[in-house]
Chain A
Amino acid sequence: MDIGKIVRVIVIPDPAEKPVEQPILVPEWPVRKESEVDA
């Protein structure tokens, strides 16, 4: 197949490749809501 001379090289992301998501950080101890904190 004759497609002529090369012009430039580009990158188009594959939509199937999802970006790496930020990990959800889980605290190692239970966190109480502010309303539950003892005065």
Chain B
Amino acid sequence: MLNTTGLLGSRAIVSFAGRFYSPVYGHQEWRRGVHESSCAIDCRYVPGERHQGCGFHAHKRISDTIAFVERIRGTADCIVLTEFFGRIALHENGLRAQKARIVAVADWNPREFVRSALKPPLYPSYTNVPLIAADYFSVPMLSADEAQAMIDKSWAAYQQNRDN
């Protein structure tokens, strides 16, 4: 299994021209290793409590990330298991964090559900974004259930440390 010590969450990234970006904030490119976030309106700390925007966003449940990708029809997206460090704002359904590192890719391909509703020439079936992402970030591919189990385990470990 993965060797992680931070809090885990799931989020979407989008493939474009052989590189990966945040689907909402397109200027955020994802590479291997740890990323540190900054605030566009100069919060003193990231993530700040002044507004609900800055920091790397993630869900606690992969099903929420899948619903998000389906809603935006993110045919070039994939879902990544991400580890978070530093200052972290915990939310009801996820988190915003100062530092993030992609540790695995979920084996879930949005083209499978979108392709049925759209014409095949627009969305060729041979492109498997999750496979490309796993290779790009040099991380394993996990089933959605395996990734969810790891997220749950990391949140339970955090809760246990907090209670002790």
Contact = CB atoms under 8 A, between A and B. Distances in A.
Nearest to B97: A12
B72 to A, nearest CB: 10
B142 interface: no
Contact of B57 (A1, A5, A9, A11): A1
A12 B95 contact: no
Interface of chain B, main secondary structure = strand
A2 interface: yes
Interface stretch (B82-90, B106-114, B119-127, B144-152): B82-90
A3 B34 contact: no
Contact of B91 (A3, A13, A14): A3
A4 interface: yes
Interface residues of B, number: 31
Nearest to A7: B90
B68 A1 contact: yes
Nearest to B95: A3
Contact of B89 (A6, A13, A14): A6
Given A2-B93, A14-B34, A14-B99, A9 B49 contact: yes
A9 B87 contact: yes
Contacts of A33: none
Contacts of A10: 87-88, 90, 158
B55 to A, nearest CB: 10
Nearest to A5: B92
11 contacts: A1-B65, A2-B64, A2-B68, A3-B94, A9-B90, A12-B5, A12-B6, A12-B84, A12-B88, A15-B85, A16-B34
Interface of B: 5-7, 11-12, 24, 34, 47, 49, 52, 57-59, 64-65, 68, 84-96, 99, 158
Interface of A: 1-16
